[in-house]
């Protein structure tokens, strides 16, 4: 996969070349009768960091970022059931996906309770996990998940677009040419998009098609509407941070204010809730601003593991 991506994009930066040349540990864990695929990087003696992709995506969306995060953590990227190289289910539930994340952390992670990072639909899964299993987590970071509004992948899947009826293409290169982001957005990192597209496809009878289950957006049980996750966000039971793209088309000021108001009264607010915007980033911030996204994540993680003694509070001069 790394060789394919670099052959297709000779202008890829050195950090990307080094990242995709770092082969992850490939494994799987069975959860309620379905194999859930995992990728892992880093030392098992380090704290666990679990990365959760968005709808119709997969663990390899994190391939370029994970090695950068693995310098301080044991990083695990999971294929939720119905996605990537994991098995499919007759029905899908956010709570079931949350259980899969916990199982992946226990199976392939490092030491201590995991910190979970979820993007878009994966952000909703992270919210459910933090609400239902907060005591089992070291923290949760929500990346551009539009609580109060539908995530764009689910809207596409329910609306009869590419996600609802994926096509079969005669060869890999033709299939790669049809890869596009939902919602549409600028992304100058063509070398990264090419790597994501190639890892999104599988050979089938008659050619190549996308890996995800076409029913993953319609065969849903439990909370799936954005308003459902407002209740979950208001009761997250672990440290939490929110990282959004400054130019996100789906997380605007109204969504940010709504999420901030919910979090202000949540148990997690007692420890403070960082809300960060990545400059010039759109919804798929890990693709269009990957290094800035890593920096934002690293900053949140560092703030949760401070060193030294905080300064005494200084009384304001009258």
> What per-residue confidence (pLDDT) applies to 164?
58
Cβ atoms of residues 189 and 61 within 8 Å? no
Domains of the chain, each with CATH number or no CATH: 2-303 (3.40.50.1820)
Q: How far apart are CA 130 and CA 78, in angstroms?
A: 17
> What per-residue confidence (pLDDT) applies to 275?
95
Q: 196-245: per-residue pLDDT in tens?
A: 999 999 999 999 999 999 999 889 887 666 567 999 999 999 999 999 99
What six digits make up the tokens of 111?
């030491």
> What per-residue confidence (pLDDT) applies to 155?
56
> What per-residue confidence (pLDDT) applies to 272?
83
Q: How far apart are CA 104 and CA 48, in angstroms?
A: 10
What six digits make up the tokens of 70?
């693995």
3-state secondary structure of 317: coil
The structure tokens 């996969």 sit at 1
**CA atoms within a 13 Å half-sphere pointing along the CA-CB vector of 307:** 1
Q: How far apart are CA 182 and CA 281, in angstroms?
A: 15
Q: Which residues of the chain carry a pLDDT beneath 50?
A: 1-8, 159, 314-318
What six digits make up the tokens of 151?
């995530």
> What per-residue confidence (pLDDT) applies to 316?
44
**CA atoms within a 13 Å half-sphere pointing along the CA-CB vector of 81:** 25
What six digits make up the tokens of 52?
């959760």
């Amino acid at each position: 996969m790394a060789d394919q991506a670099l052959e297709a994009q000779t202008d890829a930066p050195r950090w990307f070349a080094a990242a995709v040349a770092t082969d992850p540990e490939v494994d799987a864990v069975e959860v309620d009768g379905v194999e859930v695929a995992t990728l892992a990087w880093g030392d098992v003696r380090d704290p666990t960091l679990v990365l959760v992709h968005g709808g119709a995506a997969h663990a390899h969306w994190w391939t370029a970022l994970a090695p950068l995060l693995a310098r301080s953590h044991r990083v695990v990227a999971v294929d939720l059931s119905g996605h990537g190289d994991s098995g499919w289910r007759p029905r899908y539930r956010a709570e079931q996906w949350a259980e899969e994340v916990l199982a992946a952390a226990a199976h392939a992670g490092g030491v201590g309770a995991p910190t979970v990072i979820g993007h878009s639909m994966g952000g909703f899964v992270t919210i459910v996990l933090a609400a239902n299993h907060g005591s089992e987590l070291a923290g949760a970071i929500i990346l551009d998940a539009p609580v109060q509004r539908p995530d764009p992948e689910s809207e596409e899947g329910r609306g009869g677009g590419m996600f609802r009826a994926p096509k079969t293409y005669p060869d890999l290169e033709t299939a790669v040419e049809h890869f596009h982001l939902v919602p549409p957005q600028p992304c100058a990192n063509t070398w990264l998009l090419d790597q994501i597209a190639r890892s999104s496809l599988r050979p089938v009878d008659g050619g190549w098609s996308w890996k995800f289950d076409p029913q993953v957006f319609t065969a849903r049980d439990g909370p799936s509407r954005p308003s459902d996750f407002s209740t979950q966000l208001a009761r997250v039971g672990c440290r939490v941070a929110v990282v959004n793209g400054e130019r996100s088309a789906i997380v605007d000021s109204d969504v940010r204010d709504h999420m901030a108001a919910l979090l202000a009264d949540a148990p997690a607010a007692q420890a403070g809730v960082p809300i960060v915007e990545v400059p010039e980033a759109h919804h798929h911030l890990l693709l269009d601003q990957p290094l800035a996204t890593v920096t934002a994540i690293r900053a949140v993680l560092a703030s949760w593991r401070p060193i030294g003694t905080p300064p005494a509070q200084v009384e304001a001069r009258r």
